[in-house]
Amino acid sequence: MKTTILIVDDIHEIMLKKFDQAGIHYDYQPDISREEAEKIISNYSGMVIRSKFQVDKAFFDLAPNLRFIARAGAGMDNIDDAIAAQRAVQLIPANEGNRDAVGEHMIGMLLSLMNNLNPSDQQIRSGQWLREANRGYELKGRTVGLIGYGHNGMAMAKKLSGFDVTVLAYDKYRIGYTDQYATEADMKKIYKEADVISFHIPLTDETKGMIDVDYLAKFEKPIFFLLGARGGIVQVPAVLSGLDSGSILGAAFDVLPVEKFPKLAEQNWYADLIRRDNVILSPHVAGWTFESYYKLSEIAADKIIAFVAS
């Protein structure tokens, strides 16, 4: 079957240009609904997605000719990878495309938390000039624990290298590496030494809800907590308890277990989360820059072209 790709989400035109140059056929249908995609997917050998819909067993059953699914993004949690493996459908992520964006965003959130930028900005807008209440903390000399050391974790470590911090990285799947930006560590060392923790791991059956009260209780020092991976890995009430007890000094969430309104506002932890000055939130945009929009599409296109040629 000739390679024909269905692109079901909004991508940068660089991808289409690259496919044109490589002579690859595609249908660019960024507004297609899942129902419409289900009707036509059997005609395609490849698919490009972002976060639009879950590619589950029901969808795979309608796609007997599919050889690959590429994601113009990093996380592949909206694809059933077990079914993909069973059906020999290659999954192609493009995580190199937004790692810089995520690293910069998470460091921005951290610096903002450590220097009270959000509350002080709001205070000035409401006529309050409070200096002592806004005394900040410095990052220099602290230890940052990275949990997950793939593309995103490594980009974060590299960006932290100018801050005079110690970076400890734990990755269950990368034992025995060394690089100039982070020191490999087990979780025991991170629990003991980290002042800041940042998660760079995917959402899987194993990681779902893993950041709970017991997990957070293992950290021996008060920590700043950063989450820019997937909201599904955290139990938000556990972080709120840590903020109450002082074992968490501040928390930054670019992702939440439930995203978008109105569902987010219906969560029983939402009101408690948003009332706090030492919490900073962004709407799943850490990897969402003008530059990453281009790079994600460019990298996904290059990987698809290489896969098709192989």
Ligand X SMILES: O=C(O)CC[C@@H](O)C(=O)O
50 binds ligand X (CB under 6 A): yes
257 binds ligand X (CB under 6 A): no
75 binds ligand X (CB under 6 A): yes
| 187 or 281: CB nearest ligand X | 281
155 binds ligand X (CB under 6 A): no
Residue 164 CA: distances (Å) to CA of 160, 161, 226 = 8, 6, 19
**CA–CA gap between residue 30 and residue 32 (Å, rounded):** 6
- Which part of the chain contacts ligand X (CB under 6 A), choosing from 70-78, 82-90, 147-155, 159-167? 70-78
Taking the complex as a whole, how short is the minimal distance between the CB of residue 152 and ligand X, in angstroms?
9
Give the total of residues touching ligand X (CB under 6 A).
7
Residue window 77-116: x/- pattern of binding to ligand X, with contact defined by CB under 6 A:
---------------------x------------------
| 190 or 236: CB nearest ligand X | 236
231 binds ligand X (CB under 6 A): no
Amino acid at 113: L
Neighbours of 28 (CB within 10 A): 18
207 binds ligand X (CB under 6 A): no
Amino acid at 99: R
* Ordered DSSP codes for 26-51: EEE-TT--HHHHHHHGGG-SEEEESS
Residues 213, 238 contacting (CB under 8 angstroms) = yes
- Which part of the chain contacts ligand X (CB under 6 A), choosing from 71-79, 211-219, 234-242, 302-310? 71-79
Taking the complex as a whole, how short is the minimal distance between the CB of residue 51 and ligand X, in angstroms?
4
The residue behind tokens 């699914």 is 69
Taking the complex as a whole, how short is the minimal distance between the CB of residue 287 and ligand X, in angstroms?
4
**Sequence-ordered list of residues with C-beta below 8 angstroms from that of 171, at least 6 positions apart, any chain:** 147, 148, 149, 150, 153, 177
227 binds ligand X (CB under 6 A): no
| Of 295, 308, 306, residue with least CA distance to 96 | 295
Residues 260-299 that bind ligand X (CB under 6 A): 287
Residues 103, 158 contacting (CB under 8 angstroms) = yes
Residues 96, 151 contacting (CB under 8 angstroms) = yes
Q: Which residues bind ligand X (CB under 6 A)?
A: 50-51, 73-75, 98, 287
